[in-house]
């Protein structure tokens, strides 16, 4: 088995059930042992002196993988806090929340992926692990034989979600500048947990006075029978939009399975995700303090950049991947640049006020506070983004890479496009091109009124292509020109591109 194939960005992920299973209980056990040793070294303690917290989402394989990882930690000699059902952000928060304060934490989850997949996310006091750390963990785990070690560390069941709920409730009262028991009286919120781990959020809102009639799919069910737990999934967003309209709610909130991502819909059922979500939270931050910098991933729209600028802010595009945008925001702050937010179009959002932890539930909480405040003024969240310029046309296409060395093949294709763009008329390499190749186009009589971004996927042998145009027919024009450049690229499956052109 090639253990490094389990690496997925800064996480571990793989098929965990069925004939193609690679993330087995034995693998989880070895990773638990490896992480315990890794955490002890980072903490400057012996393994017997440390404690690791572990939790899981609702996936069918979660309980068994949690038990196996916990056993591996115990066989390393460390103590284990078993949180059971939990969320990814809560696992990190436990590290900095008395009296828990474990030395590290593991979340068993594959986020938004299908039911047969699962994975592990790792945290230390400084946050999630870097990609190089995950490589080191996998290499160490591949050489371990946990069954050769006796179980010497304790395993204690100690749920954390009630404590985490309390932290969110405190944030709502603080945001509304009140200490009353039910500060959300009068607000109607529909919660869609997608049968992941986040169903408890509806209870939290109800306890604070909100009306939650119409909330759905709150019960954990790792089969995800209603829709995929993914704020980017079209079926999922249609489901929450219909539920909000049917209930006549003020807004709706939807989470992925482990609750590190979220999106909302307004009272009309309009989706506020991707660029709209970034614009909304940016407007809220810039309203309080103009001039701050908002860090996003690379696929954000030109209209969003204009919106942030119009609100008095700076837009800093960086690489796709939630760890990438978070690390960029932390670096900018260290350089003296005021940057309160790092956010991906996928819904990963990390606020400086919340330790730059990508916490979809915390983001939803901040938005609900604002929704309550605006409702008291007769306004809605949607009013904050009324001036967001959205493209006339947009499309995302994924080009498969057929070469075994897919990274080299993908990078060669990107270089081919970059070389062409440098010399081509009406092709402009973006000034903030920090990933792949982002090209602005002069379409028709306009200037820079269309763009595409071709980049290498963080996880898969794929070149995602995002295209947006401010004029009708612009996407087709750009795709045709790009096809002419890529048609001889080695190892790139252009079938999806040709299909898009012919439609």
pLDDT exceeds 90 at position 456: yes
Q: Give residue-wise pLDDT tens across range 167-226.
A: 999 999 999 999 999 999 999 999 999 999 999 999 999 999 999 999 999 999 999 999
pLDDT band at 9 (very low <50, low <70, confident <90, very high): confident
| Domain 164-385 identical in fold to domain 393-502 | no
- Alpha helices for 397-465 (secondary structure H): 406-423
pLDDT band at 295 (very low <50, low <70, confident <90, very high): very high
pLDDT exceeds 90 at position 358: yes
Q: Which CATH architecture has domain 393-502?
A: 2-Layer Sandwich (3.30)
Domain residue spans in the chain? 3-159, 164-385, 393-502
Residues 64-86: what's their mean pLDDT? Answer: 98
- For the entire predicted model, the pTM comes to 0.92
Residues involved in catalysis: 111
Residues 146-156: what's their mean pLDDT? Answer: 94
For 262, the enclosing helix (H) or strand (E) is: strand 262-266
The pLDDT assigned to 502 comes to 87
HEC string for 59-111 = CCCHHHHHHHHHHHHHHHCCEEEEEEECCHHHHHHHHCCCCCCCCEEEEECCC
Q: Give residue-wise pLDDT tens across range 300-349.
A: 999 999 999 999 999 999 998 888 999 999 999 999 999 999 999 989 99
Structural fold of domain 164-385? Alpha-D-Glucose-1,6-Bisphosphate; Chain A, domain 3 (3.40.120)
Of the chain, the end-to-end C-alpha distance in Å amounts to 42
Residue of 214, 164, 206 lying closest to 187 (CA atoms): 206
The pLDDT assigned to 459 comes to 72
Bridge pairing between strands 341-343 and 293-296: parallel
Q: Give residue-wise pLDDT tens across range 249-284.
A: 999 999 999 999 999 999 999 999 999 999 999 999
Q: Give residue-wise pLDDT tens across range 82-97.
A: 999 999 999 999 999 9
3-state secondary structure of 160: coil
Nearest-angstrom CA–CA distance, 368 and 307: 22
Residue of 63, 74, 89 lying closest to 37 (CA atoms): 74
Q: Which CATH architecture has domain 3-159?
A: 3-Layer(aba) Sandwich (3.40)
The pLDDT assigned to 458 comes to 74
Angle at 245 between CA 243 and CA 249, to 5 degrees: 85
């Amino acid at each position: 088995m090639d253990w490094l194939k389990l690496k997925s960005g800064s996480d571990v992920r793989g098929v965990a059930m069925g004939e193609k299973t690679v993330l087995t209980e034995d693998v989880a056990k070895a990773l638990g042992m490896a992480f315990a040793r890794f955490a002890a070294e980072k903490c400057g303690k012996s393994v017997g002196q440390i404690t690791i917290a572990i939790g899981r989402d609702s996936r069918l394989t979660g309980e068994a993988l949690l038990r196996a990882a916990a056993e591996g930690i115990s066989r390393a000699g460390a103590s284990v806090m078993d949180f059971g059902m939990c969320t990814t952000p809560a696992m990190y928060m436990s590290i900095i929340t008395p009296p828990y304060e474990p030395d590290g934490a593991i979340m068993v989850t594959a986020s938004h992926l299908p039911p047969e997949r699962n994975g592990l996310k790792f945290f230390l006091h400084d946050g999630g692990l870097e990609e190089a750390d995950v490589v080191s963990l996998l290499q160490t785990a591949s050489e371990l034989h946990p069954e050769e070690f006796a179980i010497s560390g304790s395993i204690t069941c100690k749920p954390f979600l009630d404590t985490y709920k309390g932290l969110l409730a405190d944030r709502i009262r603080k945001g509304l500048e009140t200490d009353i028991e039910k500060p959300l009286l009068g607000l109607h919120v529909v919660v869609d947990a997608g049968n992941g781990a986040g169903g408890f959020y509806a209870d939290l809102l109800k306890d604070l006075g909100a009306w939650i009639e119409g909330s759905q799919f709150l019960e954990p069910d790792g089969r995800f029978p209603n829709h995929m737990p993914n704020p980017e999934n079209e079926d999922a967003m249609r489901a929450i939009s219909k539920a909000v309209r049917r209930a006549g709610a003020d807004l709706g909130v939807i989470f992925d399975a482990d609750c590190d991502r979220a999106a909302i819909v307004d009272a009309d059922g309009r989706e506020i995700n991707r660029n709209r979500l970034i614009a909304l939270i940016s407007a809220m931050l810039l309203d309080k303090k103009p001039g701050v910098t908002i860090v996003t991933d690379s696929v954000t729209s030109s209209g969003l950049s204009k919106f942030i600028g119009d609100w008095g802010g700076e837009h800093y595009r960086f690489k796709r991947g939630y760890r990438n945008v978070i690390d960029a925001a932390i670096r900018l702050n260290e350089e003296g640049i005021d940057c309160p937010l790092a956010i991906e179009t996928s819904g990963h959002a990390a606020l400086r006020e919340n330790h730059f932890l990508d916490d979809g539930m915390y983001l939803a909480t901040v938005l609900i506070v604002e929704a309550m405040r605006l409702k008291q003024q007769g306004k809605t969240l949607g009013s904050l983004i009324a001036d967001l310029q959205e493209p006339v046309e947009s499309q995302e296409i994924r080009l498969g890479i057929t070469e075994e060395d897919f990274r080299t093949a993908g990078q060669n294709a990107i270089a081919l496009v970059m070389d062409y763009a440098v010399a081509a008329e009406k092709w402009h390499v973006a000034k903030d091109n920090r990933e792949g190749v982002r090209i602005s186009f002069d379409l028709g009589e306009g200037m820079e009124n269309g763009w595409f971004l071709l980049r290498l996927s963080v996880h898969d042998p794929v070149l995602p292509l995002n295209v947006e145009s401010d004029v009708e027919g612009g996407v087709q024009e750009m795709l045709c020109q790009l096809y002419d450049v890529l048609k001889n690229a080695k190892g790139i499956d252009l079938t999806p591109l040709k299909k898009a052109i012919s439609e």
